[in-house]
Structure 1
Amino acid sequence: MKRILIAGLLIIFISINALAYNRGAGVTVGSTLLRGQVGAAPAALGGAYTAFAEGPLSLRYNPAGLADETRKKLFLQYNAHILDIDRSDIALTVPLNYGAFGISFSLIDYGDITRTTTINKNGIGIFSPKDYFLKIGYGRQVSERMQFGGTIGVYTLELDQDARAEGITADFGLKYNSPIDNLILGAGIKNIGTKARFYFEREELPLLFVLGLAYKPIPQLLLLVDGELIDGEGSVIHAGAEYTVAKRLKFRVGYNGENETDNGLTAGAGFATDDLSLDYAYIPFGEFGNSHQISLEVKFGKPVERKAKVIERRVERIETLERKPEPLTDTEQVIQTPIETTTAPEEEKIDIQSMKDKSVQEFSSGRFESALRLFIELETLTPTDYDLKYNIATAYYSMKHYEEALNEYGKYLELVPSDDEAWLYKGYSEYHLNRINSAKHSWRRALEINPDNEYARAALSQTTNE
């Protein structure tokens, strides 16, 4: 059934291209600025990034991707384009308690062009056209599986000192984490806005609608497809594939149907650490030359502890700001995992680590049931890893199975009684079960261990005043 659905979705995207491929002869104003590829990774993937957009690149491809942000990110790009055209981009995203905010600035320099007239065709000087684009955006989680975001931007197209066009444009996007494992769908509408005006003429923006999917058949392989319908010009297909080696090195190939000067093929590579990613893209344009794109993304600052809205009110007045729980990863352990006395085979270690990575990924994507199954399976393989008991409790809590969560937090606290976070969520679970006195006791224990736990203090204060 899964394969049938995936095949059906692929057919839909291919059909978008087959239905109306009737590209207009002219290029609408601002095409290079508004439709140019931002980020070497998406460029190497043929521009297929609607369903996989994240971080600062969400501002260009799908603002719904901002909802995933938990750390500040700075993005820098330089693109040595064809025909002496240079493009530079800078963007910043900042996570908030609910969603994330982003801002970006783009500059395209078309180089020096000889100014000619009907009388003097040899030239009477030079002019240097430039485009500027400032954009802000916001995205957030709107349901367990759905994310939504939007951007608004101000652009300036400067043909010459006395020939400028300015306008406002907006984008909106959705991302949906499907029930099918590792399948994400994306959709968006872009370039809604005012017409660009040169002197007395106004020209339309290249309004477009886009659908995309991202699928990982295996953990190392990412497949991407976008179907783009451009108002007045027809439709375009973008596709790409990324293969990861040793979790750090990425190789990419793609197809960009918008590139009519060559066969549309693209390629590139990237290297990523926990705090930095460096990417390169190579895009051939036939007789016009080749485009080389380099981009850098840096993460900084502490992760934002998201505060989730309390939807279900078990007591008359509950306004406690509950922090959204997260599973413990290898770098977020509250205790040191005991060292096994026997060394497992290398192949088994790799399998277990892959399962851990998969479980955290499933949780972060909102697939709590799938994450829970993996946590339980991992616990049977590594019974001395106490963090897995915490993760099992966290998954139950996120699914609002408070009785099971309470039971699992209790088991974990028998082994690690000094974890104030576990006492905090044990108290939340008891509160949702209307066991107010027990909840107060748990929050007091959290404050005894860590007097700076503001969430436990706020919860205790509000329940005391009720």
Structure 2
Amino acid sequence: MMRILLLSILILSGIMRLSFAAAGTAGAQFLKISPSAKPSALGETATLTAGAQSITYNPAGISTVNNIDLSLSQVTWIQGLNYSNVAAAKRNGKHVFGFAFNYLSSPSIDKFDNNGVNLGETYSAADMALTIGYGRKISSRTRIGSTVKYISSRLESQTASALATDAGIQHTVIKETLDLGMVVQNMGTSMKFISASDPLPLTVKIGGKYNIPIKPSNNNTGMTFSKSATTENSFSLFSDVNYTIDTGVFANLGAEFLIDYDKSAFALRGGYRTNVGSGISFGMGWTGGMYCIDYAFAPLGELGQTHRISLGVRFDNAAKNKKL
């Protein structure tokens, strides 16, 4: 399967070279906002995201769903903007199908004339994306996925829409230790407001995850560890290299410390994004049985601060999946 991975790298490299020739301003910028708390806390290192939320990041990740997976995310964005995401995935034999709905809304905005005089009127803007995804495991180590999505933007009475697709792959190089992945996002038609037409923010991501198991032992404190702690406690490093049609190449880094106790797990996360003025992010997560909750805080320099919270439900009783 490594040959498949290498072939994918060559294909994505070709797409990247073609995209450089078309570099410029892209429309539908909300597609670049990370909605889910876990990858956002990890510096937006999202290529190896798993579960229903991966429909937005790398559709290959939905192939990890064992039965039914639901995810709800809410983002308090800068300038009073709110971003919501709902995602679900369902396994049917070897195939996993899913959908996601993203919606960005703005508060009322005052109208001004050409001289800067307030007209006493307001207008609003909103963006949405409806995505249908598919994923499957083509081997015990390799996962693939793709999506089709409808994108719509509204600015007062003007609207624009587009169709796009994503395609991704994830591959386990060393079981429970090293994973690699890649995804191409937003390949599709242009967004057109009145006479102005802008391409979608075509994005290419290549990323990796390195997991370091922590094997606790007795120490001077007299503490002992459960069997589950011995097998599940870990420290993981994440990295993504990204290219977007309008901002060029940048990197994301993340780290997670997972503490497992019996059927629950608690995670501390941190990350760094090289494409923004204040790139530090951090967060935490808790998983208990079929439920999980994640939080992320990510400042954007002088623009303000962002907060994300995600809730998840997994109807598969797969406690081992919590470390994903």
| Match for residue 56 of structure 1 among 28, 35, 52 | 52
Kindly state the Cα deviation for residue 103 of structure 1 after the two structures are TM-superposed: 0.5
CA distance in 1: counterparts of 2:288 and 2:236, whole angstroms = 18
- How many residue pairs match? The answer is 281
* Alpha carbons of structure 1 residues 226 and 287: separation in structure 2 relative to 1, 3 Å: same
* Alignment partner, residue 239 of structure 1: 253
User: 1:259 is paired with a residue of what secondary structure?
Assistant: coil
CA distance in 1: counterparts of 2:182 and 2:172, whole angstroms = 12
* Alignment partner, residue 28 of structure 2: 30
* Preserved CA contact (<8 Å) 1:196 1:203: yes
User: 2:94 is paired with a residue of what secondary structure?
Assistant: coil
CA distance in 2: counterparts of 1:226 and 1:67, whole angstroms = 20
Kindly state the Cα deviation for residue 143 of structure 1 after the two structures are TM-superposed: 2.3
Kindly state the Cα deviation for residue 97 of structure 1 after the two structures are TM-superposed: 0.4
Kindly state the Cα deviation for residue 144 of structure 1 after the two structures are TM-superposed: 3.0
TM-score normalised by structure 1 residue count: 0.57
Letter of the structure 1 residue corresponding to residue 35 of structure 2:
V
User: 2:112 is paired with a residue of what secondary structure?
Assistant: coil
Cα displacement string for residues 82-101 of structure 1 (whole angstroms, at most 9, x for unaligned residues): 11011111111111101211
Letter of the structure 2 residue corresponding to residue 117 of structure 1:
D
Kindly state the Cα deviation for residue 159 of structure 1 after the two structures are TM-superposed: 1.0
- Between structures 1 and 2, the one with greater helix share: 1
Letter of the structure 2 residue corresponding to residue 227 of structure 1:
V
* Preserved CA contact (<8 Å) 1:68 1:99: no
Kindly state the Cα deviation for residue 232 of structure 1 after the two structures are TM-superposed: 4.2
Q: Which runs of 5+ in 2 are unaligned?
A: 1-19, 214-232
Cα displacement string for residues 247-288 of structure 1 (whole angstroms, at most 9, x for unaligned residues): 41110000122323x2x0000011111201101000112222
Kindly state the Cα deviation for residue 171 of structure 1 after the two structures are TM-superposed: 0.2
CA distance in 1: counterparts of 2:178 and 2:207, whole angstroms = 11
- Between structures 1 and 2, the one with greater strand share: 2
Q: Does 1:280 align with 2:275?
A: no
Letter of the structure 2 residue corresponding to residue 50 of structure 1:
T
User: 2:72 is paired with a residue of what secondary structure?
Assistant: strand
* Alpha carbons of structure 1 residues 25 and 266: separation in structure 2 relative to 1, 3 Å: farther
Q: Give me the identity figure in percent.
A: 28
Cα displacement string for residues 190-209 of structure 1 (whole angstroms, at most 9, x for unaligned residues): 10000001112210111111
* Alpha carbons of structure 1 residues 180 and 105: separation in structure 2 relative to 1, 3 Å: closer
TM-score normalised by structure 2 residue count: 0.81
CA distance in 2: counterparts of 1:88 and 1:180, whole angstroms = 34
Kindly state the Cα deviation for residue 182 of structure 1 after the two structures are TM-superposed: 1.0
User: 1:46 is paired with a residue of what secondary structure?
Assistant: coil
Cα displacement string for residues 311-366 of structure 1 (whole angstroms, at most 9, x for unaligned residues): xxxxxxxxxxxxxxxxxx9x8xxxxxxxxxxxxxxxxxxxxxxxxx7xx99xxx9x
* Alpha carbons of structure 1 residues 26 and 266: separation in structure 2 relative to 1, 3 Å: farther
Q: Does 1:89 align with 2:85?
A: yes
* Preserved CA contact (<8 Å) 1:147 1:175: yes
User: 2:293 is paired with a residue of what secondary structure?
Assistant: strand
| Match for residue 289 of structure 1 among 285, 299, 304 | 304
| Match for residue 226 of structure 1 among 237, 240, 244 | 240
Higher relative contact order (CA 8 A, sep 6+): 2
CA distance in 1: counterparts of 2:251 and 2:308, whole angstroms = 21
Cα displacement string for residues 372-424 of structure 1 (whole angstroms, at most 9, x for unaligned residues): xxxxxxxxxxxxxxxxxxxxxxxxxxxxxxxxxxxxxxxxxxxxxxxxxxxxx
Q: Which runs of 5+ in 1 are unaligned?
A: 1-21, 304-328, 332-356, 366-466
Kindly state the Cα deviation for residue 59 of structure 1 after the two structures are TM-superposed: 0.5
Kindly state the Cα deviation for residue 233 of structure 1 after the two structures are TM-superposed: 2.5
* Alignment partner, residue 168 of structure 1: 163
* Preserved CA contact (<8 Å) 1:66 1:99: no
Letter of the structure 1 residue corresponding to residue 307 of structure 2:
H
CA distance in 2: counterparts of 1:104 and 1:176, whole angstroms = 23
* Alignment partner, residue 254 of structure 1: 271
CA distance in 2: counterparts of 1:120 and 1:217, whole angstroms = 57
Kindly state the Cα deviation for residue 120 of structure 1 after the two structures are TM-superposed: 6.1
* Alpha carbons of structure 1 residues 41 and 140: separation in structure 2 relative to 1, 3 Å: same
Q: Which moved more, 1:287-296 or 1:117-126?
A: 117-126
User: 2:205 is paired with a residue of what secondary structure?
Assistant: strand
CA distance in 1: counterparts of 2:113 and 2:107, whole angstroms = 19
- After TM superposition, the runs of 4+ consecutive aligned structure 1 residues lying more than 3 A away are 24-27
CA distance in 1: counterparts of 2:272 and 2:147, whole angstroms = 26
Letter of the structure 1 residue corresponding to residue 310 of structure 2:
S
Kindly state the Cα deviation for residue 55 of structure 1 after the two structures are TM-superposed: 0.9
Letter of the structure 1 residue corresponding to residue 251 of structure 2:
I
RMSD: 2.3
Instruction: Report matched runs for 1:234-383 at 5 Å.
Output: 234-247=248-261, 248-260=265-277, 262=278, 264-300=279-315
Kindly state the Cα deviation for residue 25 of structure 1 after the two structures are TM-superposed: 11
User: 2:257 is paired with a residue of what secondary structure?
Assistant: strand
Letter of the structure 2 residue corresponding to residue 230 of structure 1:
T
